[in-house]
Amino acid sequence: MFLLCLLLVLPPSGATAAVVQQTMRPGIPATAEYLAGDRAKPAVLLIHGFQQTREFATVATLARGLNDAGYAVLAPTLSLGIPGRKQSLACEAIHRLGMDDDVAEIARWVAWLKARGHGSIVLFGHSFGSLQGLAYLADKPDPAVRGYLGISLIEARIGGADRAALVSRLQHSVATHKRDLVAHPLSFCRKYLASPESLLSYVRWDQARVLAVLKRPPVPVRLIMGDLDEMAGQNWLGLLQHVQVPMTVIRGANHFMDGEHEFDLLDTALEHLDALKTSPSR
């Protein structure tokens, strides 16, 4: 059971940003940047991509753009089991936490926002962060979460391996309590070093599982994708369109929505937030 610890580091007078901290598990504090905004608007919980931090350019730029438009934004750095993590984590580092741990941390940050009086929260994620956000939605989300925006959503990619065979092998290792670490491609990592439990928790999130959640989401969802996304799997955009999930495809944008497409990303995100404000509550 997580130990609860809440620390608010107050910013200088007149500033609107603060660094906040929670202890996610014994000895593992995690931090987030909180940008205060209009309490009449929903707060945004913004999750960064695979192994990154809240300082990653796509996330940091979007956070400030949303805050400039009046929205409160909470941008955490998921701990990945590293106390007070401030840097991206190398693929070759030992990974023992999994998707359930990521989802639990997202839930803790949702609770943090609620404790500060934000009764309406919209979950944003970029890349793998959008997948982690979707996993949170699939696991009894808090009623305060009123919407979801997935930016450059991807499944858990595993290179050219046979997924069914890999799942079977990992399940056997877990069932027989094998502790040997496994090195296998995951997302952009060619050699992701993890415990069998950790790797299995991500590998299970294939395209079919992602699409199944998108078909029956518990909150209004929208995706923002780039038509030049080099990380997207073959015909991924076509599959997303087939399940009729609301989606904006930004022409010429890559996976990171950088350059001039930062403005397209922000404009589309604000449109989604405006639409949610006029939608009935759950």
pLDDT at residue 223 in the model:
98
Full-model pTM: 0.92
Q: What is the pLDDT along the chain (282 residues), one digit of tens a residue?
A: 333 333 333 333 334 799 999 999 999 999 999 999 999 999 999 999 999 999 999 999 999 999 999 999 999 999 999 999 999 999 999 999 999 999 999 999 999 999 999 999 999 999 999 999 999 999 999 999 999 999 999 999 999 999 999 999 999 999 999 989 999 999 999 999 999 999 999 999 999 999 999 999 999 999 999 999 999 888 999 999 999 999 999 999 999 999 999 999 999 999 999 998 755 544
Using alpha carbons only, give the angle 227, 78, 157 rounded to the nearest 5 degrees: 40
pLDDT at residue 276 in the model:
86
CB of 8 within 8 A of CB of 18? yes
Distance CA 158, CA 88 (A): 20
Distance of CA 124 to the CA centre of its chain: 7
pLDDT at residue 6 in the model:
37
Going along the chain from its start, the domains and CATH numbers come out as 6-87+98-155+206-277 (3.40.50.1820), 156-204 (no CATH)
Nearest CA to 103 out of 129, 141, 132 is that of: 132
Distance CA 196, CA 173 (A): 6
pLDDT at residue 278 in the model:
57
pLDDT at residue 8 in the model:
37
Distance CA 50, CA 64 (A): 20
pLDDT at residue 27 in the model:
95
